[in-house]
Amino acid sequence: MPKPALRAWQRMLSGRRLDLLDPSPFDIEIEDIARGLARVARWNGQTSGDHAFSVAEHSVVVEDLFSQLNPKATNNQRLTALLHDAAEYVIGDMISPFKNALGIDYKAFEGRIEEAIHIRFGLPPKMPAALKKKIKKCDIYCAWFEATQIAGFDPIEADQFFSAPPKSIDLSINPLPVVKAEQAFLERFTQLNNASDVKR
């Protein structure tokens, strides 16, 4: 008797079933993303304080940095920055050393989910290289502040793994409770979404 096919979809609280191998934009809801990201801890939870620093809050900070450093950015570019880690609502925030150790094409898997998310919210499926580079720079700056303020790195050590941010950027990392992180992510998404000409 043949074995039943292994389940490769996840049921969301919205009721959607997201196929992880062939994700459909129609099965993606921003509320599911916000809830998932608010419950995913950066640094595998190895941070100081009463609350984990969630991917939801990290995403809001990165978008804020991106908007500060790129004042002429379009609304859609800012939304792309906010959603730069959105795929992690189903795959989690796998730390870079573990990704390297896996030895599988993790990026391709993550990329399929990211493309579905972009299509769902009216963004180009693949992020333009120049935009990706700008967002990544902000992501690394944010990681430097996280590393030195809540993850136990001293600045000299952090400089070896992350790009030290310009002296003009002063950022305080204050991990929020899950509910507030989820709310902050949804509020910023709503602001960007309402300001856009693209109907989502």
What's the whole-number mean pLDDT along residues 11-23?
A: 90
pLDDT bucket at 128, cuts 50 / 70 / 90 = very high
157's enclosing H/E stretch is helix 155-161
Distances from the Cα of 31 to the Cα of 12, 55, 91, 102, angstroms = 10, 14, 16, 30
Across 94-123, average pLDDT = 79
- For residue 140, give the CATH number of its domain: 1.10.3210.10
Residue 130 lies in a domain: yes
In a domain, 175, yes or no: yes
Q: To the nearest whole percent, how much of the chain has pLDDT over 70?
A: 88
In a domain, 33, yes or no: yes
Residues 56, 38 contacting (CB under 8 angstroms)? yes
What integer pLDDT is reported at residue 2 of this predicted model? 65
Average pLDDT for 154-162: 93
pLDDT of residue 200: 47
Residue 1 forms part of a structural domain: no
Whole-angstrom distance, CA of residue 161 vs CA of residue 92: 21
- Total domains, the chain: 1
User: Is pLDDT of 102 > 90?
Assistant: no
Q: What confidence score (pLDDT) does residue 91 get?
A: 85
In a domain, 3, yes or no: no
More confident call, 3 vs 175: 175
Residue 198 has pLDDT above 80, yes or no: no
State the residue range of the domain holding 168: 15-189
Buried b vs exposed e over 102-130: b needs ≥16 C-beta within 10 Å? eeeeeeeebebbbbbbbbbbebeeebeee
Q: Is residue 8 part of a domain?
A: no
pLDDT in tens, 19-42: 888 899 999 999 999 999 999 999
Q: Identify the pLDDT of residue 196.
A: 64
pLDDT, tens digit, for every residue of 133-152? 999 999 999 999 999 999 99
